[in-house]
Structure 1
Amino acid sequence: MTAPAAIARSPRRLAIAPALLPWCGLGVLTVLCLLLKTELPWLVNFPKQWTLPLASYINAVTDAVVAVIQPGFRALSALLDAPMRGARLALAWLPWPAVMLAVAALALKSSGERLAIFALATLAYILLAGYWPQSMNTLALVLLAVPISTVLGFLLGVLGYARPRLRPVLNGALDLMQTVPAFAYLIPLLLLFGFGPVVGLIASAIYATPPTVRNTMLGLDRVPAAISEAGLMSGCTRRQQFWQVEVPTALPQLLVGFNQTTMAALSMVIVAAIIGGFEDIGWEVLSSMRKAEFGQSILSGLVIALLAILIDRLTIGFAKPPETGPTRAMRWMTPRRLVLSLAVALALAIVIRLVAPGATFLPETALRTEMGGVNQWLLGIVRDYAWFFDGVRNTVLYCLLLPMRVGISGAATPAIWGFALSPTMAAVYFVLVLAVAGLAMRRFGAREALVVLAAGVILYTGFLGLPWPDFILAVALLAGQVAGYRLGLFALAGFALILVNGLWPQLVQSLYLCTLAVLLCLLIGGSLGVWAAHSDRVSRILKPICDALQTMPQFVFLIPALMFFKVGEFTALIAIMLYAIVPPIRYVEHGLRHVRADVVEAVEQMGATPLQTLLQAKLPLALPVVMLGLNQTIMAALSMLAIAALVGTRDLGQAVYVALGKADAGMGLIAGLSIAFLAILADRLIQAAVARSTAA
């Protein structure tokens, strides 16, 4: 290369991409804000006198509207109360042998003899544990909520399919329904319907509707054009084509939606117990947690988990037949034999009730009555090994949680770390950050160097010490560059709304807790996913564990965390991680297992080691799938905020929970919409990033 050519090329190496120029300007603004935050404290702490009383305005409107329409909703509540009581009485009337026979027949038809054995074992455990009446009351709630959700969801899905122009509005409403915490929309439901089991029924039906809507639109969209054209050529009218051609073709996807709707309704049983509990499993879990009866909490929580797994396997078995084909037991259980088995179960119930009308046939001494010794034993373990549990909690709290919340500058005090951060130490820290950023610049580029600098600043100041103008502008700029100016404006408006309503401290608490939980889930879950992708034995071991974690209601995750680590942010972190760790395991394994084999073979033939093949070939090719797992992890972490508020957090979830206790519809709505805004923003950002990565 000649000297003029080298001279001509050198400026290109030093040139900064135009997209990075706004980030450089934002970096300068950040430095100025950090230097001036002592003199201008409003840069970090938004003044209370600048907040808007939007919650009061919403409460005023809500009170006026509720006073007018409340009688109609109370009448609807009384109307729904009759089938609720009827379902409870019907299930209570059925003796347990008849229920076991009917469920075993359904399990045989759904997935074969293994599920039938599991179903009988689950029902036997519920019976011996002493939670049979409570389980039947829970099933009454689910059996009434699921048909309401299914019919409503199917109608909305057909509307979205038939009217494409309405689909953006419908998708936005579904996003809100799936991301706003249940506690937030329980407040207006309580004001309209009053306190009682019907409120839990309606809340469960609302929460469980979106899966049916989405799967209905997806199933109808995927009907092949050739099948539709064949229906038209056969002389079908539009109505006949829809009901006799399109709906049967989309039926497998509709059944998947039914499965997801059923699981969503079941996951609401404890939330329903909070605002209108009666003698059901959700109420048992909630009351035992409040009394610190960990033995009963584990027993009742295991009942919910087993019921969730059983219902999931039953419904998904009808929705998706086994890939290897039906088993011998499934073929034996023909539709005619299934109907006959259900008829025999009903006849058995009638005979038992005629012979012994007043008998309960329940064990006199159940496991729940013998849990006093177990409670003392568990409390003894917590007491005897308190040094270990407290050590784990304090280590994570002081070395990880606290530095992320208040920063190294706030954590480095004699009371916490044993020393104070001197100016020299701070200078050494920033020199190291600049050195790492320089290495990133040399190895990867300017974009990665800016990421290192941003991480170094956040780690030093903590989330609570970040100036809010810099944070809002940074997220809006990121959203604008990744997904377009509309998402950038959406981010700007959403954060501004949170800011002026006085919820910025709660937002920062939510962000730091969810960020840490997501990072740890990606680290631990991603490692397990990589291991499972390269080992069939590990994959087989992890699959039932992931199935159990994915089907358990959210409240159940609080039981072990609360038992060993008491209340606090660390307990909330453990509960969030238990709920959000499944997506990275599943998506990383799925992505790595489906990397093109010829690409992997080509890399290995070039002499790459297994680690090089993983880092330089498999993970980059599986990145779009891994990013989808990241999306699901963020959604799960945000959805657990309101649940984790029960163990002592101070975030947006706690604001929603406090608003529920005060019946403050305004603050509950604003805090709930704030969580929904974070979830929707993260979803749109990751979807845009995945689309770019796939296109590249």
Structure 2
Amino acid sequence: MDPALLPWCALAVLTALCLFLKTDFPWLVNFPKAWTLPLAAQVNAVTDAVVAVVQPAFRALSAMLDAPMRGARLVLAWLPWPAVMIAVAALAVASSGGRLAIFAVLALAYILFAGYWPQSMNTLALVLLAVPISTVLGFVLGALGHARPRLRPILLGALDLMQTVPAFAYLIPLLLLFGFGPVVGLIASAIYATPPMVRNTMLGLDRVPDAISEAGLMSGCTRRQQFWQVEVPTALPQLLVGFNQTTMAALSMVIVAAIIGGFEDIGWEVLSSMRKAEFGQSILSGLVIALLAILIDRLTIGFAREPEAGPTHAMRWMTSRRLILSLLFALGLAVVIRLVTPDGAFLPETGLRMEMGAVNQWLLGVVRDYAWFFDGVRNAVLYCLLLPLRVGISGSATPVIWGFALPPAAAAAYFALALAAAGLVLRGLGWRAALAVLAAGLILYTGFLGLPWPVFILAVALLAGQVAGLRLSLFALAGFALILVNGLWPQLVQSLYLCTLAVLLCLLVGGALGIWAAHSDRVSRILKPICDALQTMPQFVFLIPALMFFKVGEFTALIAIMLYAIVPPIRYVEHGLRHVRADVVEAVEQMGATPMQTLLQAKLPLALPVVMLGLNQTIMAALSMLAIAALVGTRDLGQAVYVALGKADAGMGLIAGLSIAFLAILADRLIQAAVKQRTAAL
């Protein structure tokens, strides 16, 4: 017997014992409130004491940052839209050619005629100030991590927290320190957007070839000259990728910033129209953010990477000199327009958003007339997937819900089928796969809410220990203990079941689309712009269609999470299958394998490490949407963070945010370790 199987056998005995005793000892399932600790109150006490001391300094910093932000807004509001269009079109030609220039003009024209030009300029003011702060800070920290390897583990841990803790969690201390206003949104955006620049700076500097560094030393460069004149120029393409990702991260925060900023930008327009259930305006304003995100993404990534086919004719024509002249012409045109008509805005008198009343009524009519369809879809998923996963078949199989109860004989037959399935898997795939089947059968029967918490914690800790070692196992135990003693176990369970179902559905749907795209260039070309659009849209935008058709509830949250998290499995599955070694595939086909056998027995196993990375990104995306999905009625950790924000409860907000970060980091480390094992085996 494999020694690694013995602790799982002991855990199986403990699981059976807990299930048998959970009626007599309810604390095995529901952690008693009497056992919780007032950690949140203690954090609030410390926070209040610290804020009282340092608040004047931070309020002074807020006043300092308020001036450049007002200045940026005034400058962008002063620029007439023809000058902005010329300048952006010139940058688009220099970045990626004529196609991007046409898209830029059309996107800006839509923003203009939709009636959101002033709001979009206010949003750009926020981004234009947040991005330089994040870029400089990220570059300094990345260079420090490159030069001081001992600091890298601490730095990477801090980056993991910054990227996984929901923005709502650290908005509370920011509000206490800086007060309410646009500056808080600016600082929150800068914090959220810094990690991509740090990671890309370290990656770019680490990849500088030793031969180039040695050539700089042999040329007599000092350490400072070698860094600025040799290493940084060599790493510049990767640094520009970091700048691109930093810009996109800052733009994705515009609606969160609007919650606490309270000024007239496009994020506030989206938020206010969603609150009023004005779906027409929500779609219009959400499309503005999506177009801005796609445009900025293409502009910045175009400067970071040349097209695969090389620069286009338009790019070669737009030399640096012509680009500068075009920008100067746009500035001169702006000056002339303002001298001729100082108060003229040249904006349409009535934008499309002013004419959306009829569209709102039409959309409400569609929702009303086809409510039977939308309600049917929602109820089918709710009663057949969400409810069984949450309370289990044993809890959902009642006359009230399904029309029948689950007798003991049916329960025994269910477990017999689960054991038979595990036995079949054991013969073909080994005991680990059989164990996974048994665990899935148990969770489906009891539901996440009915699973004893000691069993769940020990199972995850044992899995972490066997996959990644003792340190990750202890990390898992400490994280779950923090959640338990703070009374957040029910919210954790809600988060786990919702994210688990979203990830599974994303893997099924996205994996199937990825396989199709890997075998069809036409499908790949169709999916690419769709994935690009989904990947660049801010998270809040995904709530609009889900909320419009399915109202508030867990199903709406599930749809929003899936829309945001479905891109990684599509991209990674396609990438993994397209880059499987051709000689291996040819050998399998020459042995007489059918296309399905080639896919299942050769391509997918070889592409598994890449697919696992896609699973990692899917889990991260699903967890990052929890706090956003809380706006449509979930009862998970994201809702705990959002409620804490409304109450200015810094302690509970921080603990709930750290709980989400713990889940994300634990999943990331587990999957990374599994990928390393699989890669070594291959």
Q: TM-score range by the shorter chain?
A: over 0.9
Measured against aligned partners, the alpha-carbon deviations of 1:381-414 in whole angstroms (never above 9, x if no partner) come to 0000000000000000000000000000000001
1:507 and 1:175 map into 2 onto residues whose CA distance is 20
What's the counterpart of residue 480 of structure 1? Answer: 465
What's the counterpart of residue 303 of structure 1? Answer: 288
Q: State which of 341, 345, 362 in structure 1 corresponds to 2:326.
A: 341
What's the secondary structure of 1:365's corresponding residue? coil
What's the counterpart of residue 170 of structure 2? Answer: 185
What's the counterpart of residue 428 of structure 1? Answer: 413
What's the counterpart of residue 527 of structure 1? Answer: 512
What's the counterpart of residue 61 of structure 1? Answer: 46
1:549 partnered with 2:537: no
1:356 partnered with 2:323: no
What's the counterpart of residue 9 of structure 1? Answer: none
**Cα offset, 1:435, TM superposition:** 1.1
What's the counterpart of residue 233 of structure 2? Answer: 248
1:232 partnered with 2:237: no
**Cα offset, 1:172, TM superposition:** 0.1
1:131 and 1:443 map into 2 onto residues whose CA distance is 60
Pairing 1:355-394 to 2, within 5 Å after superposition: 355-394=340-379
Provide the TM-score with structure 2 as the length reference. 1.00
**Cα offset, 1:447, TM superposition:** 1.8
**Cα offset, 1:276, TM superposition:** 1.2
Q: State which of 437, 448, 464 in structure 1 corresponds to 2:449.
A: 464
What's the counterpart of residue 158 of structure 2? Answer: 173
1:313 partnered with 2:298: yes
What's the counterpart of residue 628 of structure 2? Answer: 643
| Code of the aligned partner of 2:331 | L
Q: State which of 676, 680, 685 in structure 1 corresponds to 2:665.
A: 680
2:266 and 2:164 map into 1 onto residues whose CA distance is 25
Q: State which of 542, 547, 562 in structure 1 corresponds to 2:547.
A: 562
1:29 and 1:504 map into 2 onto residues whose CA distance is 20
Provide the TM-score with structure 1 as the length reference. 0.98
Q: State which of 7, 18, 26 in structure 1 corresponds to 2:11.
A: 26
1:448 partnered with 2:433: yes
Measured against aligned partners, the alpha-carbon deviations of 1:153-174 in whole angstroms (never above 9, x if no partner) come to 0100111011100000000000
Measured against aligned partners, the alpha-carbon deviations of 1:170-204 in whole angstroms (never above 9, x if no partner) come to 00000000000000000000000000000000000
**Cα offset, 1:438, TM superposition:** 1.4
What's the secondary structure of 1:528's corresponding residue? helix
Q: State which of 605, 609, 616 in structure 1 corresponds to 2:590.
A: 605
**Cα offset, 1:345, TM superposition:** 0.1
2:543 and 2:137 map into 1 onto residues whose CA distance is 32
Measured against aligned partners, the alpha-carbon deviations of 1:5-27 in whole angstroms (never above 9, x if no partner) come to xxxxxxxxxxx210011001000
What's the counterpart of residue 494 of structure 1? Answer: 479
1:449 and 1:102 map into 2 onto residues whose CA distance is 61
**Cα offset, 1:426, TM superposition:** 0.6
> Structure 2: any 5+ residue segments left out of the alignment?
none
1:113 partnered with 2:121: no
Aligned pairs, number: 681
2:261 and 2:94 map into 1 onto residues whose CA distance is 36
**Cα offset, 1:431, TM superposition:** 1.0
1:91 partnered with 2:76: yes
| Code of the aligned partner of 2:267 | G
| Code of the aligned partner of 2:375 | D
1:432 and 1:467 map into 2 onto residues whose CA distance is 22
Measured against aligned partners, the alpha-carbon deviations of 1:426-467 in whole angstroms (never above 9, x if no partner) come to 111111111111111222222222111111111000000000
2:639 and 2:401 map into 1 onto residues whose CA distance is 26
What's the counterpart of residue 111 of structure 2? Answer: 126
1:202 and 1:271 map into 2 onto residues whose CA distance is 12
1:443 and 1:242 map into 2 onto residues whose CA distance is 55
Q: State which of 652, 656, 671 in structure 1 corresponds to 2:656.
A: 671
- What is the percent sequence identity of the aligned residues? 89
> Structure 1: any 5+ residue segments left out of the alignment?
1-15
1:250 and 1:507 map into 2 onto residues whose CA distance is 41
What's the counterpart of residue 7 of structure 1? Answer: none
2:147 and 2:427 map into 1 onto residues whose CA distance is 54
What's the secondary structure of 1:413's corresponding residue? coil
What's the counterpart of residue 593 of structure 1? Answer: 578
What's the secondary structure of 1:115's corresponding residue? helix
1:252 and 1:415 map into 2 onto residues whose CA distance is 61
2:237 and 2:434 map into 1 onto residues whose CA distance is 48
**Cα offset, 1:673, TM superposition:** 0.2
What's the secondary structure of 1:693's corresponding residue? helix
Measured against aligned partners, the alpha-carbon deviations of 1:347-368 in whole angstroms (never above 9, x if no partner) come to 0000000000011100012100
1:660 partnered with 2:640: no
Pairing 1:197-216 to 2, within 5 Å after superposition: 197-216=182-201
What's the counterpart of residue 142 of structure 1? Answer: 127
2:55 and 2:294 map into 1 onto residues whose CA distance is 38
What's the secondary structure of 1:463's corresponding residue? helix
| Code of the aligned partner of 1:210 | P
1:282 and 1:383 map into 2 onto residues whose CA distance is 28
1:488 and 1:227 map into 2 onto residues whose CA distance is 42
1:99 and 1:565 map into 2 onto residues whose CA distance is 39
